């Protein structure tokens, strides 16, 4: 069985809200298949979704807002960390490995996250914010690439 993503997975990997993902779906910017009442998207559909200018701009703005919001909030109620990690990903296989490792952990850890990959740049960028121990755990779980 081919691996697929849900709306929640797409939202977690892009940093967009599930409502925004659903809006893009209804606008025809995201293709998928509804199986047993749940939308499913292939990795190829996810990559095609992210490659559209409108979506790419939204993801970039959302990613930047994670860092900006973190910096603006001077008094935090608890310890918090924000990390930007650029990972070289010369090919789609490496990029898929990074994305899969990220997806496995980000929802379970309850982190605010944005992920972006641009083939022309050959770099995956991860922006993550949350409790320091959870951020560290996520970063440690990502595979090494060389």
Instruction: Give the count of domains, the chain.
Output: 1
The whole-model pTM stands at: 0.66
Q: Assess if residue 2 is contained within a domain.
A: no
Q: Assess if residue 1 is contained within a domain.
A: no
Averaged pLDDT for residues 22-35: 95
State the average pLDDT for the chain: 86
Predicted confidence (pLDDT) at residue 2 exceeds the cutoff of 70: no
Q: Which of 58, 4, 12 is nearest to 31 (CA)?
A: 4
Distance CA 103, CA 138 (A): 10
pLDDT at residue 125 in the model? 85
Query: For the segment 87-120, what is each residue's pLDDT rounded down to a tens digit?
Result: 888 787 888 888 878 877 887 788 888 877 776 7
Averaged pLDDT for residues 52-80: 88
Distance CA 69, CA 63 (A): 10
As given in the structure block, the two tokens for residue 18 are 């599930």
Q: Is 33 exposed, middle or buried (0-12, 13-18, 19+ CB in 10 A)?
A: exposed
Q: Which domain, by its residues, includes 111?
A: 7-141
Q: Assess if residue 37 is contained within a domain.
A: yes
């Amino acid at each position: 069985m081919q691996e697929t993503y849900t709306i929640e997975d797409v939202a977690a990997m892009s940093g967009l809200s599930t409502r925004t993902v659903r809006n893009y779906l209804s606008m025809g910017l995201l293709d998928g298949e509804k199986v047993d009442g749940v939308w499913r998207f292939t990795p190829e559909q996810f990559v095609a979704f992210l490659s559209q200018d409108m979506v790419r701009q939204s993801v970039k703005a959302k990613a930047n807002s994670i860092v900006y919001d973190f910096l603006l909030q001077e008094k935090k109620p608890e310890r918090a960390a924000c990390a930007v990690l650029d990972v070289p990903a010369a090919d789609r296989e490496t990029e898929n490995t990074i994305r899969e490792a990220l997806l496995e952990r980000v929802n379970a850890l309850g982190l605010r996250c944005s992920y972006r990959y641009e083939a022309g740049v050959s770099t995956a960028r991860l922006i993550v914010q949350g409790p320091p121990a959870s951020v560290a755990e996520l970063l440690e779980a990502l595979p090494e690439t060389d």
